[in-house]
């Protein structure tokens, strides 16, 4: 990673900051806008991040609403059901996301899941809809209805960090260790949606709320890795 420069809306990305690749192609990520022929300007405030290997450049921001992108895993809430599909809420005040009644693993007209309004599903964004199975393989790959448990709201950028996974040496790439640390003490199930929702289910409501509360606080108060470890230990001692 190069040293991040901060851009204000409308400012032009300096030519020197663009990553050079062998192919000479450039991939623009969120927060950037291309004005032909060769001007790239910022559309919001953020710090410039580049990936020289992929020739990618993007603005990293903490703020803003989730914008759906193909392939993202999201937690959607059923708003209402119609004959062909469910209308689901991804983010407030936005048009409903369409989830086909048969877009589940092994679903046909007789075996499709019966979801009521308010139910949650873990789904993947496809081109125009969301789906609860991989349409290429027909497998659920962990997606489907989320039963029991609770959801907690975090910022989309924190959700992204949660989903970054761990590198080869076991370090959390996104710098969030709350779930790993808590997992050593209590058993729980978790699903993270890129739309800023985290679903947690455990044996007792108390544990669920404690873990969710830790995540929300880690997000809002910007805890570092050490602080996260400390707080998880402190809070879980009483559970």
Partner 1 sequence: MVPEVSHHPLHRADGSASYCNNLFTILASVNGPIEVQRRDELAEEAAIAVNLRPAAGITKTPALRMQGAVRDVGVLPGLVNAAFLALVDGGLRLDCSVVATLFTVTDSGVYEEEPDEKQLVGCKSVHAMAYSHRGELLLNESAGRFPWSEWEGVAERAEKTCFAAMASATGDEEMAGGVVEKSPWLRHELEERARVAVAWRETT
Binding site for partner 1 (CB under 8 A): 1, 4, 6, 8-11, 31, 33, 43-47, 49, 60-65, 92-95, 157, 161, 171-176, 222, 224-225
Q: List, as one string, the DSSP characters of 183-207.
A: HTTS-EEEEEETTTEEEEEESSHHH
* C-beta closer to partner 1: residue 6 or 205: 6
**Whether the Cβ atoms of residue 86 and residue 99 lie closer than 8 Å to each other:** yes
* C-beta closer to partner 1: residue 75 or 132: 75
How many Å apart are CA 35 and CA 77, to the nearest integer?
Answer: 37
Q: List, as one string, the DSSP characters of 4-39.
A: PPEE-TTPBPPGGGSPP-SS---EE-TTEEEETTTE
Tokens 């901060």 found at = 6
* C-beta closer to partner 1: residue 13 or 103: 13
Q: In the complex, what is the shortest distance from the CB of residue 7 to partner 1, in angstroms, rounded to a whole number?
A: 8
**Whether the Cβ atoms of residue 13 and residue 48 lie closer than 8 Å to each other:** yes
* C-beta closer to partner 1: residue 106 or 175: 175
Q: In the complex, what is the shortest distance from the CB of residue 73 to partner 1, in angstroms, rounded to a whole number?
A: 20
Q: In the complex, what is the shortest distance from the CB of residue 227 to partner 1, in angstroms, rounded to a whole number?
A: 10
* C-beta closer to partner 1: residue 202 or 228: 228
Determine the Cα angle at 124 with ends 126 and 170, to 5°: 130
Q: In the complex, what is the shortest distance from the CB of residue 88 to partner 1, in angstroms, rounded to a whole number?
A: 15
Q: In the complex, what is the shortest distance from the CB of residue 121 to partner 1, in angstroms, rounded to a whole number?
A: 22
């Amino acid at each position: 990673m190069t040293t991040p420069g901060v851009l204000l809306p409308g400012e032009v990305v300096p030519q020197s900051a663009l990553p050079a690749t062998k192919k000479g192609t450039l991939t623009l990520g969120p927060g950037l806008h291309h004005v032909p022929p060769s001007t790239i300007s910022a559309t919001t405030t953020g710090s410039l991040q580049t990936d020289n290997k992929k020739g990618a450049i993007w603005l990293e921001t903490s703020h803003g609403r989730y914008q759906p992108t193909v392939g993202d895993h999201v937690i959607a809430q059923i708003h209402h059901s119609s004959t062909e599909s469910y209308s689901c809420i991804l983010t407030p005040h936005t048009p409903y996301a369409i989830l086909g009644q048969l877009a589940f693993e092994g679903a046909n007209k007789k075996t499709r899941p019966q979801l009521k309004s308010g139910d949650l599903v873990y789904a993947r964004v496809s081109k125009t809809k969301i789906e609860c199975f991989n349409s290429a393989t027909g497998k659920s790959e962990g997606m489907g209805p989320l039963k029991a448990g609770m959801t907690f709201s975090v910022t989309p950028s924190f959700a992204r960090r949660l989903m970054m996974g761990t590198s080869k040496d076991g370090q959390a790439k996104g710098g969030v260790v709350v779930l790993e640390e808590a997992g050593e003490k209590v058993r729980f199930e978790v699903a993270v949606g890129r739309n800023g929702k985290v679903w947690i289910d455990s044996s007792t409501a108390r544990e669920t709320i404690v873990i969710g509360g830790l995540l929300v606080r880690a997000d809002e108060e910007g805890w570092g890795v050490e602080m996260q470890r400390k707080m998880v230990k402190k809070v879980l001692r009483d559970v």
